[in-house]
């Protein structure tokens, strides 16, 4: 048997491990073969896997099905897949997302159980080397601490979605109070914000709750429906970071000096940005967003190598705060 045919046979075995198995029509469509070739492939499948179970479904179609346990050793995860899984887990840990990180760790344990000892040892060794080469997903710098109990409650509420009761203290309040919200999603940045509707308010205004300021959280059994026209990515794109204020939403124009332009051209400041290179080598970046304060935090790192053209309010905020003695650009 040629190598390509062996690969096709393994792929066919993978298809046959599904709950209902696979039909000749599905084989033809998947592999682009004629009926006679599809029949020969099922004959090879039965020879390679004696436990293959041909049967007829309720519509009279003949199907081939293989018990999953009989082929699992042929489909051990690759070192690249293991490294990617570990990379994702460490990235979630670095972002303080303990709940989804725990789920990936559980998946990792399940894969270990399903993989033979010999295969697991090889995959572990190669995967570990790949992960080391990838940098272990390290994210240096300060970050807010996470509360695993709160994170788990948020994760469960978002999956429902269910209304979530949180003990929360805003910066204008002296002590925390309980409030019921309908969570729409999480915004990730230097801080994590849970966005949602306050059930005790009569408006449809989405509010942002700093996750590290949620002292406790309880998932209710009250299900709600997120509007069909709500898109989290589109909502997030209205802000430069995670803070949103409709009063600040405007056209943003930054002009980077000819010295900084090549460096700035390798940045994505906003998903909807456009770049224009000027005759003198400078670079103008334009996008629509809000969040002046977070823009100022970022612009400060560029020193005097960037000029705010629009809007005037943002230009006024950064004026007199630009330095010329930074050793390097961001």
Q: Quick check: is 266 in a domain?
A: yes
Q: How far apart are CA 27 and CA 12, in angstroms?
A: 8
**Residue 30: other Cβ atoms inside 10 A:** 14
Using alpha carbons, select from 292, 302, 195 the residue that is nearest to residue 255: 302
**Residue 268: other Cβ atoms inside 10 A:** 8
Residue 236: left if φ>0, alpha if ψ -120 to 50, beta else—which one? alpha
Q: Quick check: is 330 in a domain?
A: no
Using alpha carbons, select from 28, 27, 192, 164 the residue that is nearest to residue 100: 192
32 and 14 assigned to the same domain: yes
Q: What is the pLDDT of residues 177-234, one digit of tens each?
A: 999 999 999 887 777 889 999 999 888 889 999 998 999 999 999 999 998 888 888 8
Last residue of a domain, one of 90, 105, 133: 133
Last residue of a domain, one of 209, 233, 257: 233
85 and 65 assigned to the same domain: no
Neighbouring residues of 284: CB distance < 8 A, sequence distance ≥ 6: 253, 254, 255, 256, 275, 276, 278, 309
220 and 195 assigned to the same domain: yes
Residue 176's domain spans which residues? 150-233
Identify the pLDDT of residue 318. Answer: 93
65 and 82 assigned to the same domain: no
Q: Quick check: is 275 in a domain?
A: yes
30 and 42 assigned to the same domain: yes
Q: Quick check: is 326 in a domain?
A: no
269 and 254 assigned to the same domain: yes
Kindly state the average pLDDT of the residues 112-121.
Answer: 65
Q: Quick check: is 48 in a domain?
A: yes
Instruction: Measure CA of the first residue to CA of the last residue in the chain; give whole Å.
Output: 56
250 and 268 assigned to the same domain: yes
49 and 13 assigned to the same domain: yes
Identify the pLDDT of residue 312. Answer: 94
Domain count, the chain: 4
CA distances from 296 to 137, 179, 293, 326 (A): 27, 32, 5, 16
Write down the pTM of the prediction. Answer: 0.58
Residue 327's pLDDT band (cuts 50, 70, 90): confident
Q: Which residue has the higher pLDDT, 166 or 160?
A: 166
128 and 184 assigned to the same domain: no
Q: What is the pLDDT of residues 120-151, one digit of tens each?
A: 666 666 655 555 555 554 556 666 777 888 98
204 and 273 assigned to the same domain: no
Identify the pLDDT of residue 32. Answer: 92
154 and 228 assigned to the same domain: yes
Q: Quick check: is 144 in a domain?
A: no
255 and 275 assigned to the same domain: yes
Q: Quick check: is 239 in a domain?
A: no
Q: What is the CATH number of the domain that holds 59?
A: 1.10.10.10
Identify the pLDDT of residue 256. Answer: 96
Q: What is the pLDDT of residues 272-292, one digit of tens each?
A: 999 999 999 999 999 999 999
Q: Quick check: is 182 in a domain?
A: yes
Q: Which residue has the higher pLDDT, 103 or 301?
A: 301
Last residue of a domain, one of 25, 46, 74: 74
Q: What is the CATH number of the domain that holds 273?
A: 3.30.70
């Amino acid at each position: 048997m040629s190598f390509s045919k062996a690969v096709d046979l393994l792929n066919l075995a993978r298809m046959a491990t599904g709950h209902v198995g696979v039909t000749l029509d599905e084989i033809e469509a998947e592999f682009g073969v004629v009926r006679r070739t599809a029949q020969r492939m099922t004959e090879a499948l039965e020879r390679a896997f004696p436990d293959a179970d041909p049967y007829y479904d309720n519509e009279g179609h003949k199907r081939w099905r293989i018990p999953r346990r009989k082929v699992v050793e042929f489909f051990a995860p690759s070192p690249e897949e293991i490294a990617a899984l570990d990379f994702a887990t460490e990235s979630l840990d670095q972002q303080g997302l303990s709940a989804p990180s725990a789920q990936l760790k559980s998946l990792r344990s399940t894969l270990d159980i399903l993989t033979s000892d010999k295969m697991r040892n090889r995959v572990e060794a190669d995967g570990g080397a790949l992960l080391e080469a990838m940098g272990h997903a390290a994210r240096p710098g300060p970050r807010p601490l996470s509360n695993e109990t709160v994170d788990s409650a948020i994760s469960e509420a978002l999956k429902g979605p269910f209304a979530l009761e949180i003990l929360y203290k805003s910066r204008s309040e002296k002590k925390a109070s309980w409030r019921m919200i309908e969570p729409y999603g999480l915004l990730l940045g230097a801080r994590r914000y849970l966005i949602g509707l306050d059930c005790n308010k009569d408006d449809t205004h989405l509010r942002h709750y700093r996750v590290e300021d949620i002292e406790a959280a309880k998932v209710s059994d009250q299900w709600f429906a997120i509007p069909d026209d709500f898109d989290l990515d589109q909502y997030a794109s209205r802000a430069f970071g995670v803070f949103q204020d409709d009063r600040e939403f405007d056209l943003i124009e930054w002009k980077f000096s000819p010295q900084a332009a090549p460096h700035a051209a390798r940045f994505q400041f906003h998903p909807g940005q456009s770049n224009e290179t000027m005759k003198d080598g400078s670079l103008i970046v334009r996008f629509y967003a809000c969040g002046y304060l977070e823009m100022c935090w970022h612009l400060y790192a560029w020193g005097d190598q960037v000029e705010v053209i629009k809007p005037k309010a943002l230009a006024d905020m950064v004026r007199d705060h630009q330095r010329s003695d930074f050793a390097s650009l961001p």
